[in-house]
Structure 1
Amino acid sequence: MNTSESTGIDLSLRETAAMVMIRVGGEIDLATTPALRRLLGAVRDNVGPERAMVIDLRKVRFFSSSGIAELITARTHCRKQGAELIIIADNSVVLRPMQVTGLTTIFDIRAYVETRR
């Protein structure tokens, strides 16, 4: 599944036996978070103890507090499902707000993830 919102966000979904991977590019702000929320909501029941949720933010160019709120919601849901949530980020656009807010201590943030089959 690939979607591109005219509002400036690019979303793609890849599912394997071990993970649900959501790739996000462009801008995550008040205008674009509804698209991200819809995709997260559509796949949230597809994760569990044996299937992680991976959110790849390496191509994000702008990251607002509404994006942080969506990650917190995803984390809460994953915890309820017993699923691991992995955030992939290697750019300061995403990492700096996460560091300033102290969220790097509660999220599993990595520069990359090995794709499990």
Structure 2
Amino acid sequence: MGGEVDLYTAPQLRSELVGALDEGARRLLVDMSRVEFCDSTGISVLLSAMKRSRDKGGDLEIVAPRPAVTKVLEVTGLDEVFVIHPDLDALPVAAGTGTAP
């Protein structure tokens, strides 16, 4: 995913995340290394997917958020809710992982 996650692009993200969960993924890794901006609609999609994943015994993890996205997560306190990996290289890989690029 790249650019902005907002009112216009959030439905695509939701579709990808729900699709991965429907296909059996439990651990969702969301690569946000190319996302410059994420508004409340995008945050809502991430929270909803995290809840669905956790209901299935998994989780949603945010990977490599850019500074603007990190700031939103920190201001909202969601940096304490989501598992956040600072970069792609430090990712632990496990079976049952679904990714949303």
The normalised TM-score by structure 1 is 0.71
Q: Encode CA deviations 1:59-92: one digit per residue, 9 max, x unaligned.
A: 1011111110011001101110101321113421
Is 1:63 paired with 2:41? no
Paired residues, what number? Answer: 91
Q: Encode CA deviations 1:15-54: one digit per residue, 9 max, x unaligned.
A: xxxxxxxxx1111110111111111121113223xxx210
- Structure having the higher strand fraction is 1
Give the secondary-structure state (helix, strand or coil) at the position aligned to 1:31. Answer: coil
Alpha-carbon separation, structure 1, partners of 2:19 and 2:12? 11
Is 1:34 paired with 2:49? no
Higher relative contact order (CA 8 A, sep 6+): 2
Alpha-carbon separation, structure 2, partners of 1:82 and 1:107? 15
Which of residues 18, 25, 28 is equivalent to 1:47?
25
Structure 1: gaps spanning 5 or more residues:
1-23
Is 1:91 paired with 2:57? no
Per-residue deviation, 1:114: 4.1
User: For the aligned residues, what is the CA RMSD?
Assistant: 1.5
For the pair shown, the structure with the greater C-alpha radius of gyration is 1
- Structure having the higher helix fraction is 2
CA contact (8 A) 2:14 2:49 kept: no
CA contact (8 A) 1:28 1:63 kept: yes
The normalised TM-score by structure 2 is 0.81
